[in-house]
């Protein structure tokens, strides 16, 4: 766990300070996931972290890994390659276009085209409203594909309520019956900051601010949803 959080801070993908979120909330931390995608070394490590998450989830009941455009595309490719190399778990990979192509091979999907009966896991950086699951579900329905989305893998769970009492992740579980797994969550980040060996400047202060934030907006931690 600390290895991933070290990776996040070293990549400047995990920032501390004052950030105004789209929700209007004032957050003491921010996940700038685009910072992961700058070098081949970072991408290689990131794929291995996700592969380990899938391994630890113990799931092998899906045969397709779906990467939502745009950030999910390299995640799906890197993770599938890492799993094939380390575990021999040879998943089919598919991802979508933001706009359907009307020439060449055409269509909304690239790579493997899911079929009826396929079981799909979605992989993305973070989720704030469950948009990728909802859009992917709608896309499959539009294409007439009777495939089932069974899991969502993300980097960080903020353990934060949405507009109601449930978090976006809990809402996905309630609406679609999807299990969600994260490499780390907000409580992990707090524990990382409170570790005396943490090298983040003013780490204890940032941990305190995060605890105050979760006391206001957080949900109870769960191992998975």
Categorize the per-residue pLDDT at 171 as very low, low, confident or very high, splitting at 50, 70 and 90: confident
pLDDT at position 220 is: 65
2-217 has which fold? Rossmann fold (3.40.50)
pTM above 0.85, yes or no: yes
Domain ranges, ordered by start, for the chain: 2-217
pLDDT at position 99 is: 65
pLDDT at position 5 is: 96
Q: Cβ(67)–Cβ(95) under 8 Å?
A: yes
Average pLDDT, rounded, for the chain: 88
How many other C-beta atoms can be found within 10 angstroms of the C-beta atom of residue 181?
Answer: 22
Q: Cβ(209)–Cβ(18) under 8 Å?
A: no
- Which of 3-7, 12-16, 90-94, 171-175 has the lowest average pLDDT? 171-175
pLDDT above 60 for 103 = no
Active site residues: 101, 103
Please say whether the dihedral angle defined by the alpha carbons of residues 61, 220, 28 and 56, taken in this order, is positive or negative. negative
pLDDT above 90 for 166 = no
pLDDT at position 225 is: 40
């Amino acid at each position: 766990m600390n290895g991933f959080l070290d990776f996040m801070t070293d990549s400047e993908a995990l920032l501390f300070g004052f950030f105004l979120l789209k929700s209007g909330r004032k957050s003491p931390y921010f996940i700038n996931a685009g910072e992961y995608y700058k070098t081949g070394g970072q991408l290689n490590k990131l794929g291995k972290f996700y592969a380990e998450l899938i391994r630890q989830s113990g799931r092998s009941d899906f045969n397709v890994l779906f990467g939502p455009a745009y950030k999910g595309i390299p995640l799906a490719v890197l993770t599938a390659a890492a799993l094939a190399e380390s575990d021999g778990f040879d998943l089919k990979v598919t991802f979508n276009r933001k706009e359907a192509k009307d020439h060449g091979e055409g269509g909304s999907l690239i790579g493997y085209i899911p079929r009826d009966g396929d079981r799909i896991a979605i992989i993305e950086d973070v989720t704030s409203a469950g948009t990728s699951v909802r859009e992917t579900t709608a896309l499959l329905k539009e294409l007439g594909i009777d495939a089932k989305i069974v899991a969502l893998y993300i980097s960080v769970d903020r353990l934060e309520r949405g507009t109601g009492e449930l978090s976006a992740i809990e809402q996905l579980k309630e609406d679609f019956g999807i299990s969600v797994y994260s490499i780390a969550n907000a409580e992990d980040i707090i524990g990382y900051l409170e570790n005396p060996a943490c090298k983040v400047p003013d780490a204890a202060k940032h941990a305190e601010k995060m605890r105050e934030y979760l006391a206001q907006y957080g949900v109870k931690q769960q191992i998975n949803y």
